[in-house]
Amino acid sequence: KARLAILLSGRGSNMLSLVQATQTGVLQGLAEVVVVFSNKPDAPGLELAVAQGYPVASLPSQGRKREAFDAEAAELLQQYHPDFVVLAGYMRILSPAFIQPFAGRILNIHPADTHQHQGLHAYEWAFDNQLAETKITVHLVDEGLDTGPILAQETVDLRGADTLAEVERRGLAVEHHLYAQVLADLIINKQKRSC
Ligand code: GAR
């Protein structure tokens, strides 16, 4: 099974959907979550992971220099030997110190088309601009802000979504199934290549 390290900074709904996919969904038999890591020791998502019985780890990033923090975080995560590092609401730009050890194996989910909107507040952006649709993007992570190669995108229909909460609700529903599916496809393709 592919070993997943899931990184989060907040709520953890994507982490939870990935965990569930490994238990009873598209990742069942394909992947296991070996650690849930956060740069915020009090992230609600960490508590959710503990409640699910998963190993968690955290290192506070506040007040730390990016390179030093990233090097330490990468070292900590390497102890879990992840095949994939899965960013799920991990609100940090990663420096080479973090990316190098996991190059090509770090995934992110971004709640917009990364060609159109990068960084924070993507649902607010879609709502404020009254978009009729937006996109959820799963991409490989490089050193830019939401610039890495796109693995998959799925459109979210926003017609009639007249509150930000409704925009988010529709978007998250797509995030939750898309992320697990993209990972499953990646893992299956990797298995085929190594046969
Ligand atoms: C998700 O909407 C995710 O796509 C977004 O943060 C939220 C985390 O929610 N990520 C970004 O905006 C990254 N630029 P969650 O903690 O419930 O998974």
- 109-129 per-position pLDDT tens digit: 999 999 999 999 999 999 999
Is the pLDDT reported for residue 70 higher than 90?
Answer: yes
The ipTM of this complex is 0.99
Q: For position 142, what pLDDT does the model report?
A: 92
Q: How many CA atoms lie within 13 A of 95 on its CB side?
A: 11
Query: What is the 8-class DSSP label of residue 83?
Result: S
Q: For position 138, what pLDDT does the model report?
A: 98
| CB 148 near ligand 1, within 6 Å | no
| pLDDT-derived band at 195, boundaries 50, 70, 90 | confident
Residue with CA nearest ligand 1 atom 8: 89
Residue with CA nearest ligand 1 atom 9: 89
User: Rounded to an integer, what is the distance from CA 11 to the centroid of its chain?
Assistant: 12
* 110 belongs to the catalytic site: yes
Query: What is the 8-class DSSP label of residue 87?
Result: E
Q: Do the beta carbons of residue 57 and residue 76 sit within 8 Å?
A: yes
What ligand 1 atom has the least distance to the C-alpha of 16? Answer: 18
CA neighbor of 109 nearest in space, from 156, 172, 66, 60: 172
Q: For position 53, what pLDDT does the model report?
A: 97
Residue 96: partners with Cβ closer than 8 Å, 6 or more residues away: 67, 143
User: Rounded to an integer, what is the distance from CA 181 to the centroid of its chain?
Assistant: 13
| pLDDT-derived band at 144, boundaries 50, 70, 90 | confident
Residue with CA nearest ligand 1 atom 10: 89
pTM: 0.97
Beta strand 31-38 with 56-58: parallel, antiparallel or unpaired?
parallel
Residue 24, token pair as written in the block: 């009873």
Residue 95 labeled ligand binder: no
What ligand 1 atom has the least distance to the C-alpha of 118? Answer: 14
Q: For position 150, what pLDDT does the model report?
A: 98
The pLDDT tens digits of the residues spanning 20-54 come to 999 999 999 999 999 999 999 999 999 999 999 99
Higher pLDDT, 191 or 83: 83
The residue whose two tokens read 């990972």 is 183
